[in-house]
A = this chain, B = another copy of it.
Amino acid sequence: MSWRKEQRRAERGYHHGNLKEALLQAALGLIAEKGPGGFTFADAARMAGVSPAAPYRHFRDRDELLSSIAQRGFEQFEALLTQAWDDGRPDTVTAFERLGKAYLAFARDEPAFYSAMFESGLPVDLSPTLQAASERAFGVIRAAAERLAALVPPGMPRPPAMMMALHIWSMSHGVASLFARGDSARRKLPMSAEDLLEAEVLIYLRGLGFPTDRRPPAPKDPAAPPPVPPSGASPGAPSGAPSGPWGTPK
């Protein structure tokens, strides 16, 4: 039963060569499977083929490994959001909605990172680098909100961009946490989390004075088609396409 260990040792020698990375990967896999609480330091070591004490050469303790993963998660998150925002192309509102979708996509596609970042109970405010990473990620939303705020139609009250950013963050986070986690989404929904969030954001944007009825034709930015929202769209769904921000639940 130890031939396997010996075998592995023979293959890689006394030194692993890349243990830190291997541990991170192992932990990532374990967290994705069994949640941030179900991950054990010993398991990760076993998975990497080293003794239970080896990880301590690379991480002060279990929490530091978790924290490293969260850190990396925030970095990837920031990259994803940046890409989704794409500097506001083709127009601010479209890009803004893409941001929300990206949030959900991350929660769904990177459950391990998401868990470590938001569900591990780690005190984000204790690690300066972690907090910084978190703030950089939020900064993308913040910047987008800044641009959006500048476009609030004249005559409408214009809330601080920071506030708009926090609103969007909380909507995305709320939908993601409640409905986009767990393999089969813990709670049943009459629609996808994506559609739910999209509708939510669109209603919010309308509340800020943005026209939100156009959809297929995405003209340039300051172009504002019919400023009057379409009326009388009951759940019956007359036409084939969604008549408002929400379609008929399929």
Contacts and interface: CB of A to CB of B under 8 A. Distances in A.
A116 to B, nearest CB: 12
Contact of A189 (B35, B124, B166): B166
A121 B124 contact: no
Interface string A212-250: 000000000000000001111111000000011110010
Contacts of A123: 182, 186
Contacts of A230: 157
A202 B163 CA distance: 13
A117 to B, nearest CB: 12
How many copies the complex holds: the figure is 2
A196 interface: yes
Contacts of A197: 170
Contacts of A191: 163
Interface residues of A, number: 60
B37 A157 contact: no
Given A204-B204, A207-B204, A170 B163 contact: no
Interface in A157-211: 157-160, 162-163, 166-167, 169-175, 177-179, 182, 186-187, 189-191, 196-197, 199-200, 202-208
A13 interface: no
Nearest to A196: B166
Interface of A: 35-38, 118-119, 121, 123-125, 134, 155-160, 162-163, 166-167, 169-175, 177-179, 182, 186-187, 189-191, 196-197, 199-200, 202-208, 229-235, 243-246, 249
Given A38-B121, A134-B187, A157-B230, 20 more contacts: A35-B121, A37-B37, A37-B121, A118-B177, A124-B186, A155-B231, A156-B231, A157-B243, A158-B234, A159-B246, A160-B246, A163-B190, A167-B196, A169-B178, A170-B178, A170-B179, A173-B178, A200-B204, A203-B208, A207-B208
